[in-house]
Amino acid sequence: MTMFLAALAFSLVWGGVLRVGAVALTKAAPSLRVSPSFHLALIVSLVVPVILMLAGIRLGLPVLPALQPLSGLSALQGGIALHAPAEMQAGLAHPRPSFRWQTLCAGIAITLYVFGAAVHLLRLSRTWQRLSAIAANATPDPALPRSAWPVGITHTPIPAFVIAGWRRSIVLPQALVLTSSPQQLAMIVAHEEAHLKARDPEVAAALSLIVAIFWFNPFARALAGRWRLAAELRADAAALDKAPKEMRRAYARILLSALRIPTDRVMPCPPATFSTLQFRTEKMRMTNILEGRFPARKSRFSFAFAAAFSLALTGVGASLATSSLAGPGAVDIVKGRLAVSFGVIRKDGTFHKGVDIAAPIGTPIFTPEDMIVVEASDLFRGEPRYGKGVELRSVDGTRRALFTHVDSYSVNPGDRLKKGEAFATVGKSGSTQRHAHLHLEAFENRRRVDPVSLWPQLRN
């Protein structure tokens, strides 16, 4: 739950950063403003880090311990340690109510998100179904301009559009056909053909899905809108390639006529269309059309730049997302060196169940988060090989940490420790130990995990 909320919050922050960066770049290089590849790169750079952040739950990447108390209360009731004394179990079964408001707030936030996403996805699904039905029922007309794709007429008041999928086609509203000359219709069809050649309908469908999922993020919607404008300008340029001034004026007149046609708004997230029904967008298109200012043709260099730009931004975003998972104010559990990692196969063929942090004897050990002491003994788990050890459990009951081979400890079972509180020191206790180090094992939801995945600061 907390990872999900953290990913949503990160998408807002990272989306704002991308938006500010896009504004700065387009001011420095105005040609980027009308580059679909540039805006698509920004959208990819927004979405991929969030996906990687969410994948961290399943792939064992760092999680967000600073927010873990938001976990559900059910985990708190069902995660009693196997080795906890009876009085400790009773204490954990009735946790402090101070954390319930956090659980409630997290539940409300996720409920609102799911409800909003469901509404937007339902609207989008209905839109796609409606557009598919309109395209399927569109009737061909021999008088229409010839095209490599099927061209049909619909009686539904809707902007001219192209449909994606296996049956790619161009659909023109009857009102637009009746008010346009053959030359103007040819330019409209050329405009829609440019969308089909550039695979704009498929990209628009993907962006509509992204906007529906990120419905709470105004930056995602703004970036998608900028891509749509750039795609329309590119299609205008293709339709008016080397066109004289009079032809550009005729094209502008038909665009203005399309805006005046009463429209059935069945497209909350429109596909590639001839008119977008947005005044500012159409005003910019009209200005470019009349003045003959169109974006340069796409080239291998522009694609290479967009790909490299997207990879760079995605890398930065993924790095920020991963590093932010450690949570604000992450505490150094122990100052030392990661000597042996989790999962290493020893010479005797056994599996290393935790991590070893090499540090001088007496180095203090701190709690990574608010935790409860489950066990603290000189013969940890009754095993001489462990020596002295302490077991801590997170307040919400989802995580356990075993600290062994310690030199000393200052806690007792049942003690509640605050984040960053010292409770033990590094040692070399245990029947098989030669060098001073801390052996740390971790469990999440009763499953053994790499401690570094829970507390990334251990990498240092």
* Tens-digit pLDDT string for the chain (460 aa): 566 777 888 888 888 888 888 888 888 887 777 788 888 888 888 888 888 777 653 333 443 333 333 333 333 333 333 333 444 344 433 444 444 566 677 778 888 999 999 999 999 999 888 888 888 899 998 888 888 889 999 988 888 888 877 778 898 888 888 888 888 888 888 888 989 998 988 999 999 999 999 999 999 999 998 888 888 888 888 888 777 778 878 877 777 776 665 555 445 445 555 554 455 666 666 676 766 565 555 545 555 555 565 566 666 655 555 555 555 556 789 999 888 888 888 777 788 899 999 999 999 999 999 999 999 999 999 989 899 999 999 998 889 999 999 999 999 999 999 999 999 999 999 877 788 999 999 999 889 999 988 887 787 6
What residues are paired with 416 via a beta bridge? Answer: 372
* C-beta of residue 56 within 8 angstroms of C-beta of residue 3: yes
The C-alpha atoms of residue 295 and residue 279 are separated, in whole angstroms, by 20
The C-alpha atoms of residue 134 and residue 162 are separated, in whole angstroms, by 11
The C-alpha atoms of residue 313 and residue 316 are separated, in whole angstroms, by 5
3-class DSSP state of 431: coil
DSSP state of 378: S
Q: What angle do CA 415, 417, 421 make, to 5 degrees?
A: 135
Closest to 36 in 3D by CA, of 224, 309, 279, 274 = 224
Token digits of residue 136: 């399927």
Tokens 């839109």 locate to 127
274: left (phi over 0), alpha (psi -120 to 50) or beta: alpha
Pairing between β-strand 406-409 and β-strand 422-426 as defined by DSSP bridges:
antiparallel
What residues are paired with 355 via a beta bridge? Answer: 440
Token digits of residue 400: 């356990």
Torsion angle, CA of 189/191/197/202, rounded to 10 degrees? Answer: -100
* C-beta of residue 168 within 8 angstroms of C-beta of residue 198: no
The C-alpha atoms of residue 16 and residue 251 are separated, in whole angstroms, by 36
What residues are paired with 437 via a beta bridge? Answer: 358, 427
Token digits of residue 435: 């060098």
Q: What are the structural domains of the chain?
A: 124-295 (no CATH), 337-459 (2.70.70.10)
* C-beta of residue 180 within 8 angstroms of C-beta of residue 254: yes
Dump strand ranges (E) for 150-306.
151-154, 161-163, 169-173
- The amino acid present at 372, given as its one-letter code, is I
Closest to 56 in 3D by CA, of 450, 429, 458 = 450
